[in-house]
């Protein structure tokens, strides 16, 4: 299994709503067969520029890093099924760690 790093920018929302979003993403990773090892919270920040996602413009976001082990097929399915369709995710990037 390969170690992946997933960087996420979530829409700025309450702590309860953010917790629900993180829980939903974590369950998606585990349902696809991934092993979640760590979630790193970088807090809420101003975005470097105004970003558009799902017909909305965002100027603030909550930054998170997810670290998980999985097969390369998980990344494709996670990106297509979960990350691109979720309206609470402003940006998502998945990188393979060495």
Instruction: Spell out the domain ranges in the chain.
Output: 2-96
For the whole model, what pTM was predicted?
0.86
pLDDT digits (tens, 9 = 90+) for 38-87: 999 999 999 888 888 878 888 899 999 999 999 888 888 888 778 888 88
| Model confidence at 98: pLDDT above 80 | no
Q: Alpha-carbon distance 63 to 78, whole Å? A: 18
Q: Residue 16 pLDDT > 90, yes or no?
A: yes
Give residue 57's pLDDT: 86
Of the two residues 84 and 8, the one the predictor is more confident about is: 8
pLDDT of residue 87: 85
CB-based burial label for 85 (10 Å; 0-12, 13-18, 19+): exposed
Give the distance between the most distant pair of CA atoms in the chain.
Answer: 37
Residue 19 has pLDDT above 90, yes or no: yes
Q: Over 90: is that where the pLDDT of 8 sits?
A: yes
**In the numeric block, which tokens belong to residue 50?**
């105004």
In CATH terms, the superfamily for domain 2-96 is: Ribosomal protein S6/Translation elongation factor EF1B (3.30.70.60)
CA distances to 14, 54, 74 from 29, rounded to whole Å, are 23, 22, 8
> Can you read off the two tokens belonging to residue 85?
């369709």
The 3-state secondary structure of 10-57, one letter per residue = EECCCHHHHHHHHHHHHHHHHHCCCEEEEEEEEEEEEEEEEEEECCEE
């Amino acid at each position: 299994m390969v170690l992946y790093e997933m960087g996420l920018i979530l829409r700025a929302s309450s702590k309860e709503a953010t917790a629900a979003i993180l829980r939903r993403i974590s369950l998606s990773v585990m349902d696809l067969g991934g092993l979640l090892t760590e979630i790193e919270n970088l807090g809420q920040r101003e975005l470097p520029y105004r970003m558009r996602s799902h017909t909305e413009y965002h100027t603030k976001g909550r930054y998170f890093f997810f670290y998980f082990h999985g097969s390369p097929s998980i990344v494709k399915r996670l990106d297509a099924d979960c990350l691109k369709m979720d309206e609470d995710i402003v940006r998502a990037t998945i990188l393979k760690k060495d």
